[in-house]
């Protein structure tokens, strides 16, 4: 459910972002990553990083503020693809695999080991954290994104 909620919430955010001018979208709003664009890129960076760790693959991420896509439409398409990838990954997990620990390497080269379920909780919580920042930045820009709590998602898909 959280993977599907995450994809739905991202669709809502991107839909509201599409109403902004490019100037409004890229304006430094003094958030942790500055602009809405940079924050959306950060979310994709972290999702790719965690999914690559879970899958034991290389993702080419070198920093948490890396800009993967300079254009909104390309970033939006990549976000949708990543959300679908995440849904497919979670759907393939059974009760045993979801609680197993995963070995991975941190960006600084140090080893890490965390149960998959805690990595996924971290990933989804991280998304919610930064979507809240984007929601505030959109409000500053004169847009009014819809409520995006899980209960709103459940009502929307019912």
Closest CA to 39 of 23, 22, 27, 53: 27
- How do the domains of the chain map onto residue ranges? 2-157
3-52 pLDDT, tens per residue?
999 999 999 999 999 999 999 999 999 999 999 999 999 999 999 999 99
Residue range 43-72, pLDDT digits in tens: 999 999 999 999 999 999 999 999 999 999
pLDDT score, position 80: 98
**Given this model, what pLDDT does residue 106 score?**
92
C-alpha span between 109 and 87 (Å, rounded): 28
Tokens of 65: 């503020």
Q: For domain 2-157, give the fold.
A: 1.20.120
Mark out the alpha helices in the chain (DSSP H runs).
Answer: 2-17, 22-26, 36-55, 72-91, 95-99, 116-140, 150-157
Q: How confident is the model at residue 145 (pLDDT cuts 50, 70, 90)?
A: very high
Instruction: Pick the closest to residue 36 from 15, 62, 61, 5 (CA basis).
Output: 15
**Number of Cα atoms under 13 Å in the Cβ half of residue 6:** 28
pLDDT tens track for 86-113: 999 999 999 999 999 999 999 999 999 9
Q: pTM (2 decimals)?
A: 0.95
What pLDDT, on a 0 to 100 scale, did the predictor assign at position 62?
92
């Amino acid at each position: 459910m959280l993977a599907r909620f995450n994809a739905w919430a991202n669709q809502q955010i991107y839909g509201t972002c599409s109403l902004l001018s490019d100037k409004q979208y890229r304006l430094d709003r003094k958030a942790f990553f500055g602009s809405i664009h940079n924050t959306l890129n950060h979310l994709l960076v972290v999702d790719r990083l965690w999914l690559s760790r879970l899958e034991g693959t290389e993702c080419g991420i070198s920093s948490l503020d890396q800009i993967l896509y300079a254009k909104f439409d390309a970033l939006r398409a990549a976000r949708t693809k990543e959300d679908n990838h995440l849904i497919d990954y979670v759907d393939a997990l059974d009760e045993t695999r979801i609680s197993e620990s995963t070995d991975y390497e941190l960006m600084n080269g140090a080893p890490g080991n965390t149960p998959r379920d805690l990595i996924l909780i971290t990933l989804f919580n991280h998304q919610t954290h930064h979507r809240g920042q984007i929601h505030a930045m959109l409000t500053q820009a004169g847009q009014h994104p819809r409520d995006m709590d899980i209960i709103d998602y459940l009502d929307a898909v019912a």
